[in-house]
Amino acid sequence: QTALNPAILSLDWLLGTWKSDEHGEGCFPTINPFRYTETLHFSHEGQPVIHFMFNAFHAESKKPLHRECGFIRMQPETNKVMFIIAQNSGLVEIEEGELTEKQLNLKTHALARISFAKEPHVQQVSRVFQLRPDGRLEQTVSMTTDNQPLMTQHLHITYCRSS
Ligand code: HEM
């Protein structure tokens, strides 16, 4: 097994595969609430970088829905974390934030989308990852869009470690 680069040692609690235990809950003022499942993979190759893949599925139909992949880096000698993210919806994003103990607080630093991305367009994302005392991982995503300028929750889900 490749040794973890010291630059990302403080994110070691993320590494591995996580599967949603209870159904994730999706909402937003402009859409019907929905339930979903999601698998997360975080891995590394010895570089000061974590690679991730998030795959979400509709809870009832099991159809693939949302997918994201990207890279995580930390600014050396700080608790600053950045995510570089590509989403299957046609969005690319850089999120930046801070690591506090086992909690990551991120928000959009830069965002771009394909010319024919579905509307309304997301304007700003904020997300929190937290390792809970019971060993489960929790993710909460909020966003603003063209129609909803107030930061409002879109997703909440918890995961169990599966490897
Ligand atoms: C709707 C963004 C992750 C499922 C939407 C909308 C936006 C959006 C802008 C349209 C809202 C409106 O019509 O007012 C995002 C962003 C995500 C994300 C930025 C990640 C950071 C996910 C995930 C799922 C999901 C993980 C899981 C299955 C849905 C569904 C809808 C929706 C089912 C409603 C139907 C539709 O418009 O397709 N999302 N989303 N989203 N999102 Fe997400």
3 lines ligand 1 (CB under 6 A): no
CA distance 75 to 94: 14
- 113 Cα–ligand 1 center, Å: 14
CA distance 65 to 47: 30
Residue 110 in any domain: the answer is yes
Specify the pLDDT at position 13.
98
Specify the pLDDT at position 1.
81
CATH number at residue 148: 2.40.128.20
Q: What is the number of structural domains in the chain?
A: 1
In tens, the pLDDT along 13-32 reads 999 999 999 999 999 999 99
In tens, the pLDDT along 88-134 reads 999 999 999 999 999 999 999 999 999 999 999 999 999 999 999 99
Determine the structural domain holding residue 144 and report its residue range. 6-161
- Please state the pTM of the whole predicted model: 0.97
In angstroms, what is the C-alpha Rg of the chain? 16
Specify the pLDDT at position 73.
98
For ligand 1, atom 8, the nearest C-alpha belongs to: 122
Specify the pLDDT at position 115.
98
Specify the pLDDT at position 159.
98
40 lines ligand 1 (CB under 6 A): no
- Cα 72 from chain centre: 11
Residue 1 in any domain: the answer is no
Residue that the structure tokens 């973890």 belong to? 4
In tens, the pLDDT along 39-95 reads 999 999 999 999 999 999 999 999 999 999 999 999 999 999 999 999 999 999 999
13 lines ligand 1 (CB under 6 A): no
Task: Ligand 1 pocket test: pick from 89, 125, 159 the residue with the most ligand atoms within 8 Å of its Cβ.
Answer: 89
141 lines ligand 1 (CB under 6 A): yes
Residue 66 in any domain: the answer is yes
Residue 67 in any domain: the answer is yes
Task: Ligand 1 pocket test: pick from 25, 28, 84, 94 the residue with the most ligand atoms within 8 Å of its Cβ.
Answer: 28
Residue 101 in any domain: the answer is yes
64 lines ligand 1 (CB under 6 A): no
Residue that the structure tokens 């600014």 belong to? 75
pLDDT band at 148 (very low <50, low <70, confident <90, very high): very high
Task: Ligand 1 pocket test: pick from 38, 55, 66, 109 the residue with the most ligand atoms within 8 Å of its Cβ.
Answer: 66
- 98 Cα–ligand 1 center, Å: 24
Q: Which of 53, 54, 51 is nearest to 36 (CA)?
A: 54
Residue 153 in any domain: the answer is yes
